[in-house]
Chain A
Amino acid sequence: MNTPEIRIENVSMVYSDNGASVKALDNVSIDIQKGEFISLLGPSGCGKTTLLRIIGDLLQPTSGNVLVCDQTPRQTRMDQKYGIVFQSPVLFDWRTISKNIRLPLEIMKVPREEQNRRIESLLELVGLSKFADHYPHQLSGGMQQRVGIARALAIQPEILLMDEPFSALDEFTREKLNEDVLQIWSKTNKTVVFVTHNIAESVFMSDRVCVLSPHPGRLSAIVDIDLPRPRTKEMRDWPEFNALVAKIRNSFEGV
């Protein structure tokens, strides 16, 4: 096998809060391959978001090593290889939709014509071409999160980090966006690390699901999802799908 795109080795994270220290992650090791769609799944307090932030260099682990593209997360961040989608869309209210997607391209000093070209194709990809000149408050929550995804893809990142991107959305919108993200992923072939607390969502989306248990955050299982691709919404009713959901749910018992 090739060297992994993301190598997480014995990572631990201890937060200290007024003298009391809380162990958020305990000795977690995961290898993620290039082009893989991997989910970090677990209940609140399992450290899944902490782990994602460590991969993205938004947090420094207390101990352990992370290598991304054969370098430190810091170098990878400085090379602007991360696209991050957060729990909320984090759109800048004073920028129109197309200008929000333009933001990272301005920072990266991408030539203007190339900016326009990318924005146009991304708006099409997320189905918001008609809303290019709207302001964020004129869009629904689901549409805003699509803009967040388009903006993350704008810099053509090597790695897409998604931190519970759909947790604030209703079930219908969430399932629709699940399919959309998979479709986008199949076209772009990024490595995706997807944080969620929704078991069905993680099964539907992923190649592998890393199950994390809380207090302290530990990797309790890695489940291979061998459902065929492309995934369709009918698969949610397959016995294999439900068996995988049950298997993951059971791995939480005794936690």
Chain B
Amino acid sequence: MNVMKKMTLPKLLNILLPILFGILFLYVWEKNGLHYLMGLKKYQLPVPSQIAKALADNKTQLLSNARYTTAEALIGLIIGSLIGFFTAVMATVFPKWGYGGLTVLSAFNAVPIVALSPVMNNWFGMGMGSKIAVVVVTAMAAMAFNAYRGLNDLKPFSLDLMASYAATRREVFFLLRLPNSIPNILTALKISTTSSMIAAIVSEFFASYAGIGFELSNALKTAKMPLAWAYITVAAIIGIALHFIVSLVETYALKWHVSQK
């Protein structure tokens, strides 16, 4: 009740309008409006009710494949982010040779996933390992550059301030650089949650035993369009959920930040 009282009309509209638009969109889609607009046949684009049925009918299969792909994405995200963060720390603590590490990562990052996936399949086999490897490569660059920026873009005079206290390098790192980098680390995680799902799914297209990408590609090959769209829906929900979790952590961890005003 209290919450409702605080809701002003514009705020309420901010929530209501997108929901209404979403319902309208689904309705138009259900009534073949999209098919009419884009000149598509029903077998090319199933309507929402067909997709919903496919979701319900294949619940077990969808869940186990979703778990498989999410595991790849999350494990890769964590390993990649840790490597990226470690590289950023090295580049900060040992600027002379550490910065070279960042350059190497940026070179890795320039390689498209589509080119990397077959190579990784070749190296690490058709199981989870190769998918995780691709996700690691995509996640580490985002983390390395953002964390490096956070560790080094300090307010003017803040290093002088620490010097005036005769602070050790260790104290400068833990009291100044590390907390200063937290907003950038969260930004990197936000970028990487989305790209990790993409990387994992795309890698599964090439060769895999399971996963959303693998099943999606099979469903497409066998013209099971509602099932394919059910997988797409699941992938979208996971992507949004991961993004939402990081945003939640951000709101909590950055309550001091100007952006939270």
Please list the residues of chain A having a beta carbon within 8 angstroms of any beta carbon in chain B. Answer: 53, 56-58, 77-80, 82-84, 86-88, 90, 92-96, 103-104, 106-108, 135-138, 155
| Distance A79 CA – B164 CA, assembled complex (angstroms) | 10
Is the pair A95, B256 in contact by a Cβ cutoff of 8 Å?
Answer: yes
Does B155 touch A at the CB level, under 8 Å? yes
B157 cross-chain contacts in A, Cβ below 8 A = 86-88, 90
CB distance from B255 to the nearest CB of A (A): 8
- Checking B160, B162, B165, B261 against A108 with a beta-carbon cut-off of 8 angstroms, the contacting residue is B165
Asked whether, in the complex, the Cβ of A107 is within 8 Å of the Cβ of B155, the reply is no
Contact bitstring B158-172, A, C-beta under 8 A = 1, else 0? 101111111100010
Chain B residues closer than 8 Å to A84, beta-carbon distance: 160-161, 164
Number of interface residues of B (CB under 8 A): 23
Contact indicator B165/A90 (Cβ below 8 Å): no
Q: Contact between B258 and A80 (Cβ–Cβ < 8 Å)? A: no
Most chain B beta carbons < 10 A, residue from A53, A83, A104, A108: A104
Contact of A135 with B156 in the complex, beta carbons under 8 Å: no
Task: Using A86-B161, A93-B258 as known contacts, list a sample of 5 further A-B pairs with CB atoms less than 8 Å apart, ordered by residue number in A.
Answer: A92-B158, A92-B176, A92-B179, A94-B179, A107-B166
Given contacts A84-B161, A90-B158, A90-B161, contact A77 B256 (CB under 8 A): no
State how many angstroms separate the Cβ of A66 from the closest Cβ of chain B: 15
Instruction: Kindly list chain A residues whose C-beta atoms are within 8 Å of the C-beta of B182.
Output: 94
Complex contacts, B23 vs chain A, CB 8 Å: none
Q: How far is the CA of A96 from the CA of B256 in the complex (A)?
A: 8
Which 6 A-B residue pairings sit nearest by Cβ, starting from the closest? Answer: A86-B157, A135-B256, A84-B164, A137-B258, A94-B179, A90-B157
Contact between A77 and B156, CB atoms less than 8 A apart: no
Q: Does B257 contact A (CB under 8 A)?
A: yes
In the complex, what's the smallest C-beta–C-beta distance from B17 to chain A, in angstroms? 31
Complexed CA–CA distance, A109 and B182 (Å): 25
Interface residues of chain B, those whose CB is within 8 Å of chain A, are 155-158, 160-167, 171, 175-176, 179-180, 182, 255-258, 261
B256 contacts A82, C-beta separation under 8 Å: no
A-B pairs with beta carbons under 8 Å apart, 12 shown:
A80-B165, A87-B157, A88-B156, A90-B157, A92-B179, A92-B180, A93-B257, A94-B256, A107-B165, A108-B165, A135-B256, A137-B258
A96 / chain B contacts, CB cutoff of 8 Å = 256
B165 and A93: CB pair below 8 A? no
Taken together as a complex, chains A and B put the C-alpha atoms of A86 and B160 apart, in Å, by 9
| Total residue contacts A-B, CB cutoff 8 A | 66
Q: What is the bound-complex CA distance between A92 and B160, given in angstroms?
A: 13
A137 to B256: give the CA distance in the assembly, Å: 8
The majority secondary structure among interface residues of chain B is helix
**Residues of B contacting A86 with CB < 8 Å?**
156-157, 160-161
Q: A247 to chain B: closest CB distance in Å?
A: 33
Contacts of B164 in A (CB 8 A): 56, 58, 77, 82-84
Inter-chain contact B161/A78, CB cutoff 8 Å: no
Please state if B155 and A90 are interface contacts (CB–CB under 8 Å): yes
Nearest Cβ on chain A to B164's Cβ, whole angstroms: 4
Q: How far is the CA of A92 from the CA of B158 in the complex (A)?
A: 8
Which residues from chain A contact B257 at a C-beta distance below 8 Å? Answer: 93-94, 137
Q: How far is the CB of A167 from chain B (nearest CB, A)?
A: 13
* Contacting residue for A93 out of B162, B171, B175, B256, CB 8 A: B256
B175 x A106 contact (CB < 8 A): yes
Q: What residue in chain A is nearest B258 (Cβ atoms)?
A: A137
Report the Cα distance A24→B6, complex, angstroms. 59
Min CB distance B252 to A, Å, is 13
Cα-based distance from A103 to B176 in the complex (angstroms): 10
- Bound Cα distance A125, B175 (Å): 26
Cβ 8 A contact of B175, one of A80, A107, A137: A107
Residue of B165, B179, B182, B255 with most partner-chain A CB within 10 A? B165
What CA separation (Å) do A108 and B167 show in the bound complex?
9
- Beta-carbon nearest neighbor of A106 in chain B: B175
Q: In the assembled complex, which residues on chain A have CB atoms less than 8 Å from the CB atom of B166?
A: 77-80, 107
